[in-house]
Each structure stands twice: as structure tokens, then as C-alpha cells.
Amino acid sequence: MSGLAILLVDDHPVVREGYRRLIERQPGLRVVAEAETAAEAYEAYRRCRPDVTILDMSLPGAGGLEAIRHIRQWDKGARILVFTMHQSAAFAVKAFEAGALGYITKTSPPSELIRAVEAISRGGHSISADIAAELAAERLTNRTSPLDGLGVREAEILRMFAAGMETERIAAALNLSLKTVQNYHYQIKAKTGARTDAHLVWMAISAGLLADDCPPQ
């Protein structure tokens, strides 16, 4: 079959069905695989080698940042488009740092998603208007975010912690030792200046790490 092969990653089956129908109505686009978790996304990517991966950031357990990082470790040329409810410019920056080529929010018109897929398939970049405006505002006002000094994995661990995941579950989801996750926790608090765990969670929420569609942890 000809056309761009798409991997669709979202933990809501009804949502995936809707976007699959939208995508496959476009000439030259076809969904070749779907996944619900970061681990499934990685396995599906290796199995199907899609031209473009459309990926939500809010996934059960390890989230979108980890999925992007893992896929890009295996294939430096992977073309990944984030499509999410997260409207945080700081979170978008972390997605790009992890290796995404585009970041489109789900409040965007469907046509914007299709345009982004086409741009990324050619190796370009794409960002939705709302995130672009937020990034511009931050630059103009010199606003900072608690995420600015964190690495991609640190940002992902902070998101998981703020979502209510226990240290043991974070370690299992990321294939890390308990001690390593505890060290990350300490480093994150030191870098953000958080005085307590409650303060750390407040910082994560204020940075937009938790979106309305975040699954229960």
C-alpha cells in the first residue's frame, strides 16, 4: 500500500477511533498501528516503522516524554508529532528536547493536525498557534518555568510523581532502580528549589504537567 504510514498513540480507544477516521479520510494517509502506552508505542514503532507517529502526552504509567525518548533512542530519524491536551509551553519545550518534531494541542482545528502530519513527514517542524503564542509571550516577558532547569527524564519523573505515582511504580514503569528514582527525586527538588513534596506537586501543576485528560495513576 502507498501513502504515509501513521502510528497513533492514545490511551482512549474512542479518541483513537475518531482520529483514525479523520486521518484515513485524507488522501495518502493511513493508520498502520495503534498503541495505548509508552511501552506499546515503542514496540509498535519497531514493528511497523511508521513514517509519522502521532502521540498523546498523557499515557498510563510512563508518559509521552518517555515514549518519545525511547523511540528516538532506537531511531534517531523518528518523526514524532505530539497531539495532546497539555497546553503548557514549558512542557512543549521538553517534548521538543526529547525529539518531537511537532506539538499540536487537541483544541486545534482538525486541519491543523493534518497540516502538521504533512509537514513532519517532510522532516519539518510544526507547532499549534496557542503554544506558539504562549512561547512568544514567555520570551517577551522573560517568564520562567520550574521545568527550565530539568532534563527530559527529570520532567517525566516529576509529572509521574505529581500524578500520584509511588516511587516503586515510577521505577517499574521506567525500568529504573528504586535508588535511582529516589536520586532523581532529590535532584528535581534541588533544581526547582522545592521545599517539600507538596511544593513540588504545586510546581508541577503550575507548569502544566498535568492536563485534564491525564489518566488516574
Per-residue confidence (pLDDT) for residue 2, from 0 to 100: 63
pLDDT of residue 168: 93
Domain positions in the chain: 4-140, 152-206
Q: What topology is assigned to 152-206 in CATH?
A: Arc Repressor Mutant, subunit A (1.10.10)
**What does the pLDDT read at residue 1?**
46
Q: What is the 3-state secondary structure (H, E, C) of the chain?
A: CCCEEEEEECCCHHHHHHHHHHHHCCCCEEEEEEECCHHHHHHHHHHHCCCEEEECCCCCCCCHHHHHHHHHHHCCCCCEEEEECCCCHHHHHHHHHHCCCEEEECCCCHHHHHHHHHHHHCCCCEECHHHHHHHHHHHHHCCCCCCCCCCHHHHHHHHHHHCCCCHHHHHHHHCCCHHHHHHHHHHHHHHHCCCCHHHHHHHHHHCCCCCCCCCCC
Which residues of the chain have a pLDDT value below 70? 1-2, 211-217
Q: What was the pLDDT predicted at 215?
A: 46
Q: Comparing 4-140 with 152-206, is the CATH topology the same?
A: no
Do 61 and 11 form a contact (C-beta atoms < 8 A)?
no
pLDDT tens-digit profile of 11-43?
989 989 999 999 989 989 999 999 999 999 999
| Residue 55, φ and ψ in degrees, nearest 5 | -135, 130
What pLDDT, on a 0 to 100 scale, did the predictor assign at position 211? Answer: 64
CATH topology of domain 4-140: Rossmann fold (3.40.50)
Its pTM stands at 0.84
